[in-house]
Structure 1
Amino acid sequence: MGGDVDSTRWLTEDEQAAWSGLQQMQGMLSGRLNRELATSSGLSLQDYAVLVTLSAAAEHRMRAFELGRLLGWEKSRLSHHIARMAARGLVCRQRCPNDQRGHFVVLTDAGEETLAAAAPGHCRSVRHWFVDRLSPAQLAALADITRTVRAGLGEICDGSDE
Structure 2
Amino acid sequence: MESMTTASTGGPRWLSDEEQSVWRAYLQATTLLEDHLDRQLQRDAGMPHIYYGLLVQLAQAPRRQMRMTQLAKDVKITRSRLSHAVARLERNGWVRREDCPSDKRGQNAVLTEEGYEMLSRSAPGHVRAVRQAMFDRLTPEQVRSFGEIMQVIATGLEPDGTDADLPWLR
Corresponding residue of 1:142: 146
Q: What is the percentage of aligned positions where both structures have the same residue?
A: 36
**Structure 1 residue runs of 4 or more that deviate by more than 4 Å after TM superposition:** 156-160
The answer to whether the aligner puts 1:67 opposite 2:71 as a matched pair is: yes
Corresponding residue of 2:119: 115
TM-score, scaled to structure 2: 0.87
Deviation at 1:44, TM superposition (A): 1.2
Find the aligned partners of 1:154 and 1:82 in 2 and give their Cα distance: 25
Residue 143 of structure 1 aligns to which amino acid in structure 2? Answer: G
TM-score, scaled to structure 1: 0.91
Instruction: Summarize the alignment of residues 79-90 of structure 1 with structure 2, pairs less than 5 Å apart.
Output: 79-90=83-94
Corresponding residue of 1:54: 58
Deviation at 1:159, TM superposition (A): 5.1
Corresponding residue of 1:7: 11
Instruction: Summarize the alignment of residues 127-138 of structure 1 with structure 2, pairs less than 5 Å apart.
Output: 127-138=131-142
* Distance change in 2, residues 1:158/1:13 (3 Å): farther
Q: Give secondary structure in 2 for the equivalent of 1:52.
A: helix
Deviation at 1:155, TM superposition (A): 2.7
For the aligned residue pairs, the C-alpha RMSD in angstroms reads 1.5
The unaligned stretches of length 5 or more in structure 2 are 165-170
How many residues of Structure 1 are paired with residues of Structure 2 in the alignment? 156
Deviation at 1:42, TM superposition (A): 1.1
The unaligned stretches of length 5 or more in structure 1 are none
For each residue in 1:16-51, what CA deviation from the matched residue of structure 2 results, as whole angstroms up to 9, or x when unmatched? 111111111011111111111111111210111001
